[in-house]
Structures are given as C-alpha cells and as structure tokens.
Amino acid sequence: MTQDSAQRIVSVTPASPWKRFFAYFYDWLPAAGVFVLVFIIGLALANLILLNTPANEVSQLLSNHPLWWAYLGLGSSLYYLYCWQKGGQTVGMRTWRIKLVKADGRHLTWGESALRALLSCGGLANLWAIIDDEFRGWHDIAVDAFVVQLPKMEKTAEEKKPLI
C-alpha cells in the first residue's frame, strides 16, 4: 500500500456547546432568507392557481390551512438538509469553523439529515450537548454524528492581499 492510498487518520476535537449555539444563532439569517423565498414562491403559486380569487381571500385561505404551514416548515428546513448533506456545514458553522460529520468522516445522507432535523426539536436537542461528554445532542447521537472543531488554516498569499 502506498502513502497516497493509505487512509489519513485525523484527530479532531468536539465543538463546544457555545460554538454550536453561536452557529445556530448565526444561521437564523440565511434560514430566514430561505423562508421568505419559500413563502413568496408558495404565495405566487397559490395566486396563480386561484386566479380569479381576491388576494386577501387567498391569504386568509392559506393562513388557516395546515398544509401551508407544513410547506413553509419543510421548505425552510431544506436549507439545513442541503448544507448538512452537501458539505457538513451551514453558513454559521463555516463562520465558527465547526463541521458535522459521521463517526467515519463521511457527510450525512439526505435521510440522516432529515432525521437529525426532525429530532432537533427546533434546536432544543443541542441543550443535551452541555451535559454530554462528547458534546453531542440527541439528534447527533441518533444519526451517529459529531460536530467537530476544525483547525484554523493559514491564509494564502492571495487571501492576505488587501481588498482595495
């Protein structure tokens, strides 16, 4: 076996509950943007489908319908599901240099991401990370995932250049 084909073993440290909280708080901004986008698309489609219905009646109809609220919740959660599945990091997690990985280093699948989102109870599951030895929430334990702290990387010469 050559050096290139050997698996790299990397030692990582779990992300502190505080960094998890700050990343969670930071992620409300892009999640709100996705919510607004999902809301506008859904409202536009509803107005197109109910073409001859006044807009205030369409709004009243939607606000009382449980499918509308389910659509908004599922559509907004796609931000988290996509980020966790694609790269293991949301925007807030990138900012705080933390990453969501499986025990073997892989990213979560769509199913695991959906289960994690469902079990997070809107972020309440992160409170368990305060008392857990590995700083994992219920949702992390259920999908056998870890939120790990990434090392600080040295900036390249290009990144050190002034913007102006």
DSSP per position, 72-84: HHHHHHHHHHHHH
- The answer to whether position 164 is within a domain reads no
* pLDDT value of residue 29: 93
134 falls within a domain: yes
| 158 found inside a domain | no
Q: What does pTM read for this prediction?
A: 0.77
Which positions of the chain have pLDDT values less than 50?
Answer: 1-2, 5
Q: Is residue 98 part of a domain?
A: yes
State the pLDDT at residue 20: 92
Q: DSSP states of the chain as a string?
A: --TTTSPP----EEPPHHHHHHHHHHTHHHHHHHHHHHHHHHHHHHHHHTTTS-HHHHHHHHHT-HHHHHHHHHHHHHHHHHHHHHTS--HHHHHTTEEEEETTSPPPPHHHHHHHHHHTGGGGGGGGGGTSTT---HHHHHTTEEEEEPPPPPPPHHHHS---
pLDDT at 9 (0 to 100) = 55
pLDDT of residue 1: 46
Q: Count up the domains in the chain and report the number.
A: 1
Residue range of the domain that includes 37: 15-151
Q: Does 131 fall in a domain?
A: yes
Q: Tell me whether residue 160 is in a domain.
A: no
In a domain, 9, yes or no: no
